[in-house]
Amino acid sequence: MAEIENELAAIKGRWMSGLAGSDAASANWKTLIGSGTEAELRLLALTGQALQIGFVPVPSDKLQPSRPLPELSLPVMPQAARHSFRRAMADNAQDTQITMQILELVESRGYSAHPFDWMPRSSHSSDVPALYAPWTDWLNNDVGKPQQETLSEENWDGWFPAERRSAFTALRTIDPDAARELLAAKALDVPADERLRLIDLLSNRLGESDIAYLESLEKDRSGKVKTRAAQLLARLGACASDAELVAELAETLALKRAKLLSSAKAVIPKKLKNNAQRKRRLELFSLVPLHALANAFELTSLQFVEGWDLATDERCNHAFISMVANTGDDTVPAVLASRIVALKDDQYALYELIPRLPGTVKQQLIGDALAIEGDLFQLAVDLSRPALGQLKLESINKSPDYKAMTTAIAEIAKGATNRKTEIALAHCYTTLGLLLDKKGADAAIAQVIASGTLASDPQLNMLQLNAALTPSSRSIK
């Protein structure tokens, strides 16, 4: 190494003096650079390479090769779809929600992403679909080894965290009591954030047998875990409530007869005097469980939700919806969601309820969601998750937004351009690409291209991805 350093120093010294560096080069280097006018250029390239490669530090003996990237349970998407996938992901790189929806569309057709096209970020390990749990664990370099057997107390520590959550979800579905007992035995061994994620999974098949364990979490070290346990207890009607707070909130509401000659009751927010009172009422909705408030009016939770007035106070509506989403039993979110969608107004208030809705209820609400004008199919997309890419074009083409879309396409074909209309169309194409089945996507693309839009137009990226994802034998039916 010292010989090379001396040689390079001599060459650079001659160059700095305006002389030919080749006279200081060794015999081996003179053979490589030859002679003539380009000899000095070859020597320059050779010395530059020597500086870059010859002086790289020797790797430490402690370096270990990385573990192989784990295989996923679904095959990689077809080669023909990968280009459209990359374009769609690049278009929406700043929108985490849409990128997750794209992954769900791919998964619903029976495929996974190619690791060269997309990899989860380790910091977002809890936000990606469960399909990619092995990859998030690999990126986090979590210790342990993936397991094939059922999750148990004996092999708990052998699972990577994300894969363990997936295994726990499966166990909770099959045997809810065994899952709860396992969590009670091992939850304190994991960090608070991971413990919160696992306890949240108890919402699946939540029952009275879970009460004792949830009550024990009142002593948990994490405030977030305590809050979540209290919300789950409230859904079972077993959460202790502060009588003074319940009475204070009830005082801001009024119970009236819904209609003349009817026994049905309507719950209406009172008109309060000042902003301080209104702010306090909104705060109380987050502190009082639904069943306790209903009891204050001698109503059941279901009667209270059916009687809640959705027309008087929008801010109160949102606070009440949060209360139902967090503390209502399993029967009431679907009832409230149906009422909100039927009004075809302020549909964004529904989003907090969607995680509490069973798949069958979400499917029933999609038709009503498509009838909402100006939503650009967005609510239908959220109700369809995670089974995206399943709707037939015939179920969409009667919606007001689809009719408005076809009218706008026709106007643009005639040369009537409007920037606002073009932006709305681009959003429509994106949401349709997430909603439609392959046949519908093919038809939508053909319709847009017939109006004069190029097939390579970036606006069609999501539809093009949909059309390229031919359903596999493992697609969601």
333 with 254, same domain: the answer is yes
Helical segments of 127-191, H only: 133-139, 161-174, 176-186
Question: Helix or strand or coil: residue 76?
Answer: strand
Final residue in a domain of this structure, among 33, 53, 73: 53
Q: Is 165 part of a structural domain of the chain?
A: yes
258 and 171 inside one domain: no
Q: Report pLDDT digits (tens) over 224-250.
A: 999 999 999 999 999 888 999 999 999
284 and 197: one domain? no
In this structure, the answer to whether residues 202 and 275 fall within a common structural domain is no
Residue 74 resides in a domain = no
d(CA 352, CA 310): 16
3-state secondary structure at position 409:
helix
pLDDT at 146 (0 to 100): 52
pLDDT per residue as tens digits for the range 100-122:
999 999 999 999 999 999 999 86
pLDDT tens string 142-198: 655 555 578 999 999 888 888 899 899 999 999 999 999 999 999 999 999 999 999
Query: Is residue 349 assigned to a domain?
Result: yes
How far is residue 158 from each of residues 127, 154, 190, measured CA to CA in Å?
A: 22, 9, 13
Residue 311 forms part of a structural domain: yes
Instruction: Please indicate, yes or no, if residue 476 is contained in any of the structural domains.
Output: no
Number of domains making up the chain: 3
204 and 316 share one domain = no
Single out the residue in 27, 53, 79 at which a domain terminates.
Answer: 53
Q: Are residue 258 and residue 332 in the same domain, yes or no?
A: yes
DSSP assignment of 244-290 equals HHHHHHHTTEEEEESSTT---EEEEE---SSHHHHHHHHHHHTTS-H
pLDDT at residue 2 in the model: 64
Residues 196 and 285 in one domain: no
The pLDDT score that the predictor gives to residue 238 is 92
318 and 205 assigned to the same domain? no
> 208 and 252 share a domain?
no
Residue at 314 is within a domain: yes
Answer whether residue 137 is part of any domain.
Answer: no
Beta strands in 78-218 (DSSP E): none
- Domain membership of residue 401 (yes or no) is no
Query: Cα dihedral angle (204, 208, 210, 216), rounded to 10 degrees?
Result: 140
- Are 254 and 319 part of one and the same domain? yes
pTM for this structure?
A: 0.79
Low-confidence ranges of the chain (pLDDT < 70): 1-2, 54-63, 122-126, 142-148, 259-263, 345-346, 416-417, 477
**Residue 183's domain spans which residues?**
156-235
Interatomic CA distance for residues 83 and 268, integer angstroms: 54
Q: Is residue 359 domain-shared with residue 282, that is, in the same domain?
A: yes
Final residue belonging to a domain, choices 308, 338, 364: 364
Report pLDDT for 257.
81
Is there a contact between 441 and 463 (Cβ–Cβ < 8 Å)?
yes
H or E element at residue 464: helix 461-468
Tell me, yes or no, whether 284 and 226 share the same domain.
no
